Structure 1
């Protein structure tokens, strides 16, 4: 008679939260899925897939929000409370897959993911094995490593391996439960470096080589998984910095692997550079206009909603609309994505496609850099039903096609534009609130630059005003001495955590 399949619960909340944005994130932004709907998120847990058959998977609650502002205490209490209640209703489980991002800031809570996992552990008991999957822009505290038995993160930025990472976390958990051995050894090394994702893309060196070493370490005898976290630069919390964790059965192997990866990251710190040429927005527009490359993409980086920006900073759009080259409808075709403006959207929808309207939008959340912008233009398109934006309209102002949304939305895919009767490939200039270009846009761009614009995710980290991170920290303290990169062996989750905090 075959052994019963292990029972594994799936739970987690995920968001990047910028503490430098005035925005706040409420519970509906997480679009929580529950029970069986949780499993639909993951193709490798579809019926008939080998991993699905290897365990009895039980969804509880998983919610993922667009990056944004700090999560309100009430939203966190509501979602985490429901997650715990659903876990209680499952009965005994053997394992739990904790699917998070790792950069969630909650009002009044410094280490929200570890705090939630501690509550989960109180609910399910000390004998349950936990495997945690994260974004490489998450933050890894000693407590989070202690409470997890297995932990891993993405190895690519942009995150083309997101689903592969989640599957690895789930498979590692299944394999460990099937093996029945002791809990893995965990070696953690905090690395005092805090850089923006746009400076640490694995498309280019040195991150390309730094991350290539992860698979080499993982391949060593006695190692189960290896991971490097860049950390999340736009939150001001003690846990925020780069980190390395290696897990496995062999203490010496995991320690040596963790120290190798930590040294590689630290030694490369001065070599990290922006993934694309940078400049002021004016410089980027000048170069785009002078270039023959089409389409020419410009990233409006300071208000990037996928890094935690409020999305409604008007500074960049004001600069674009003021350019004389774009005043006439016959000028260079410019697409601008995007700006939230609920009342502007309502006006455009009521007027209909082809109508000329005057609307005001933006700066309802983040008005520190510019106030609301008023525009007169022709309604080019209207679209309802978007998961994030709800309703989108395109307003042609001169030769600029401005995408306005009811709620903020990232524009990462070609269909985000073509769904609005816009052809980004035929445009002269495409300006997107983003950092590094996501894969589809990167492949489409004939050339591109990153504009260093103001906002809640300003790329100039030193001027943002961090005061709660551990110091010294690079690049805030460029002349700092070499840190202690010795591997810290973290106690198993069913044992007390040692008292040395970092």
Structure 2
């Protein structure tokens, strides 16, 4: 997370927990690999691990590993054995979005493929690689390797091996799909005979930190002449929050034609609130993310409006709204890389380099506080220091 006034929110949270629970209580943390691990955060934890896949299909496995390793430490303490492991921490001058570091593709596939072998070494408990969070501007934002275990040499060697593998491939990272402007993505989708054709409106991905209420993409879509008539190509757009618009649609009911305004209540930098007239196609109550969802058909576009922002990752997210994404011509989602169900459903897709809080064009965001040099903001590098820093929680100060 990113909190105004704090440069390391997770460390601050754990530090305050430590003030309550004291230094002797064991702490195990599991994280998203897109998070940040400062040296201070690593010092305050006894065990720290993260996902090894992106998209994150190993969430449950990661939680289990964090718990299993914690129980292992607790049992060692019960048996009067040494129970506080070493952590080898290596920062890397690389800061990339998940859309360039998916483990479906190289080079992330082989980088993360090295993790189990390092973890299997005698004296090692866990090995983890974070790619960092690219859309915050803090000194801690960068890639990091942490290897935990009893053998100081083993954890140090393992961390340095993973860091070297990562750095040697830093120039090879690329986007997970063909990219283009929003207009270029729409043009490509219309030319293609592959259906459904997915487009990622990536600049406002709510699961990456976007507000979710940027109206720029839907505004551009509804302005296209190809979609003005109901007989045009069927497009599903997910989504724009608009509590007042949702309330009006609910009052009017399915089948009613209404004019509503939605979006840009949080992020109005790129486009203002969007007013549109359409027919209420569906209404759904009780969604755990959105609370209430409605579908408004405007021409051949089925725009999903929500009371609260919601990511659309599953086929049932659409079918429960009386939408059939498999038979649509184009499906546009505010997301980065496609989540597994969408990826399997898409016959082809493009990553739209659209504006928003999580713009994939990192350089144009204007980072000012990250440590430099940093790839890809800087292209000329001296060899970085990839030696491990040993952090020993049994020591009151940083080792």
Note whether the superposition's TM-score is higher than 0.5.
yes
Q: Which runs of no fewer than 5 residues in structure 2 stay unpaired?
A: none
- Residue 213 (structure 1) aligns with: 114
- Residue 146 (structure 2) aligns with: 245
Distance 1:439 1:192 in 2: 30
Distance 1:121 1:414 in 2: 42
Offset at residue 322 of structure 1 (A): 1.1
Superposed, which structure 2 residues align to 1:33-182 within 5 Å?
Answer: 104-180=1-77, 181-182=81-82
- Residue 247 (structure 2) aligns with: 346
Q: Which runs of no fewer than 5 residues in structure 1 stay unpaired?
A: 1-103
RMSD: 0.9
Which of 462, 466, 482 is the equivalent residue of 2:363?
462
- Residue 184 (structure 1) aligns with: 85
Secondary structure at the aligned position of 1:338 is classed as: strand
Superposed, which structure 2 residues align to 1:295-444 within 5 Å?
Answer: 295-444=196-345
Offset at residue 494 of structure 1 (A): 5.0
Offset at residue 495 of structure 1 (A): 2.1
**2:200–2:332 CA contact under 8 A, matched in 1:** yes
TM-score, with normalisation over the residues of structure 1? 0.78
Moved more, 360-369 or 333-342: 360-369
Distance 2:392 2:123 in 1: 18
Q: Does 1:222 align with 2:136?
A: no
**1:127–1:494 CA contact under 8 A, matched in 2:** no
**1:148–1:493 CA contact under 8 A, matched in 2:** no
Offset at residue 388 of structure 1 (A): 1.4
Q: Does 1:231 align with 2:132?
A: yes
Distance 2:395 2:294 in 1: 53
User: Measured at CA, do residues 347 and 340 of structure 1 come closer, stay the same or move farther in structure 2, by a change above 3 Å?
Assistant: same
**2:85–2:392 CA contact under 8 A, matched in 1:** no
Offset at residue 116 of structure 1 (A): 1.5
TM-score, with normalisation over the residues of structure 2? 0.97
Structure 1: which 4+ aligned runs deviate by more than 6 Å?
Answer: none
Distance 2:26 2:186 in 1: 53
Secondary structure at the aligned position of 2:194 is classed as: coil
- Residue 372 (structure 2) aligns with: 471
